[in-house]
Amino acid sequence: MTQTFPHASIRTSPYHSATVDEGATTFHAYNRMLLPLGYGDPEAEYRRLTEGVSMWDVSAQRQVQLRGPDAARLAQILCARDLGSCVEGQGKYVALCDHVGNLINDPIVLKVDDDCFWFSIADSDVKLWATCVAAERGLDVEITEPDVSPLAVQGPLAESVVASIFGEWVRDLRFFWFADAEIDDIPVKVARSGWSKQGGYELYLMDGSRGLDLWSIVKEAGAPWNIGPGYPNPSERIESGLLSWGGDVDATTNPFEVRLGRFVDLDVPDDVIGIEALRRIAADGPTRHQLGVVMAGDDPRPGHDRWYDVVAAGRKVGSLTNGTWSYKLDRNIGFGLVSVDCRIGDEVQIAKGDTLIDARLTPLPFGKDDR
């Protein structure tokens, strides 16, 4: 653990001082913004998310906005998923690939209107990518990063909190759909989404000057349900099998290797970036796949600072791309990006430096009985 600090090139979010007041101890740089990743009590923060309700500053999940006559066309060119059926107010989780089918991001695409799309991105420069594609193809579209900063409300009690603020209608929102709303003159989009499997919403704040106001409103409204601060939680997301682009994906990972094949539509037009390569990979079958890894022993190990080798019969068969203590399994768990020759149930080892840790490959998401 070492210090970091806000800087003109690593921005603070509109909620930053509120998160510091709440006791945020740890930050991560994500899309050139400080993302809080800890408030000092990991187990309480995990329980709050999985049993109650938790509020997260996820402003670092920036939006890349495509606006103009060719916005819809560019959105489709960038995405190996058919957006033709996507209607205003609907979001879709998509695989963004390069020309050889490797993942360069896995955003939610929100159709704001016929001429405006938001890409709610993981940690890579989708704006730079989209700007290049639009210019090289001569498209009439403006690409910007608008003043939009999501605040996530996540957990089994999230619906009650968000309904108490915005009204009962939020209970009818379908997953990844969103609608405009206002509270105390603060403009937001309310989306049923979020990077956990505990249910919840993301409030897309559309006026950064009102971040602290929105934080207070949610905190106050959530008090009856004991809301408290949280963050994209490594234990919960790994138990739930959620992918972290950047963490679980390297420069040569395609969607089929990391369980995103179901979000790829092979019949999109030929001008979609990477689609020819993806058709080939789909036909041949990928060479790696992603499985769960449960490690032996009930001693929580320190954090995961890199990919570690997965070894079977003395030979490297893949990588452990993340690792965490699971409160659900009382074991250290992680994702293995391993050869398709590896199967669920296989006994393997994880090489952390000179230490070999016994482990077993499991399905994803993890079940309580996978330990």
Cβ proximity to a copy of itself: between 64 and 218 the closer is 64
Contact between 309 and a copy of itself (CB under 8 A)? Answer: no
Stretch that binds a copy of itself, among 112-120, 148-156, 214-222, 301-309 (CB under 8 A): 301-309
- Report, in Å, the least distance between residue 292 CB and a copy of itself: 17
Contact between 351 and a copy of itself (CB under 8 A)? Answer: no
| Token pair listed for 231 | 């963050």
Cβ proximity to a copy of itself: between 9 and 85 the closer is 9
- Report, in Å, the least distance between residue 168 CB and a copy of itself: 39
Q: Which residue from 1, 87, 283, 313 is in contact with a copy of itself, where contact means CB under 8 A?
A: 1
| Token pair listed for 208 | 């950064």
Stretch that binds a copy of itself, among 279-287, 303-311, 342-350, 354-362 (CB under 8 A): 303-311
Stretch that binds a copy of itself, among 20-28, 177-185, 196-204, 213-221 (CB under 8 A): 20-28
Contact between 344 and a copy of itself (CB under 8 A)? Answer: no
SS3 330: coil
Ramachandran sector of residue 127 (left: φ over 0; alpha: ψ -120 to 50; beta: rest):
alpha
Question: Other CB atoms closer than 10 Å to residue 338's CB: what's the count?
Answer: 25
Ramachandran sector of residue 331 (left: φ over 0; alpha: ψ -120 to 50; beta: rest):
beta
Residue-wise burial string across 232-266, b where 16 or more C-beta atoms lie within 10 A, e elsewhere:
bbbbbbbbbebbbbebbbeeebbbbbbebbeebbe
What are the DSSP calls for 30-65, one per residue?
A: ETTEEEEEE-S-HHHHHHHHHHS-EEEE-TTS-EEE
Q: Judged by CB under 8 A, how many residues of this single chain contact a copy of itself? A: 51
Contact between 269 and a copy of itself (CB under 8 A)? Answer: no
Name 162's Cβ contacts closer than 8 Å, sequence gap at least 6. 153, 170, 190, 200, 201, 203
Within residues 168-227, the interface with a copy of itself by CB under 8 A covers: none
Cβ proximity to a copy of itself: between 43 and 142 the closer is 142
Q: Which residue from 135, 223, 340, 344 is in contact with a copy of itself, where contact means CB under 8 A?
A: 135
Contact between 3 and a copy of itself (CB under 8 A)? Answer: yes
| Token pair listed for 260 | 């995103």
Contact between 7 and a copy of itself (CB under 8 A)? Answer: yes
Cβ proximity to a copy of itself: between 129 and 166 the closer is 129
> What backbone phi and psi angles, to 5 degrees, belong to 326?
-100, 120
Q: Which residue from 168, 185, 251, 284 is in contact with a copy of itself, where contact means CB under 8 A?
A: 251
Tell me which residue of 164, 156, 216 sits closest to 22, measured CA to CA.
216
Within residues 36-55, the interface with a copy of itself by CB under 8 A covers: 38
Q: How far apart are CA 1 and CA 126, in angstroms?
A: 29
Give every strand in the sheet of 63-67, ordered side by side: 91-93, 108-113, 116-120, 63-67, 142-144
Interface residue list for a copy of itself (CB under 8 A) = 1-12, 20, 24-29, 32, 34, 38, 98-100, 104, 123-125, 128-129, 131-133, 135-137, 145, 244, 246-248, 251, 273, 303-307, 321-322
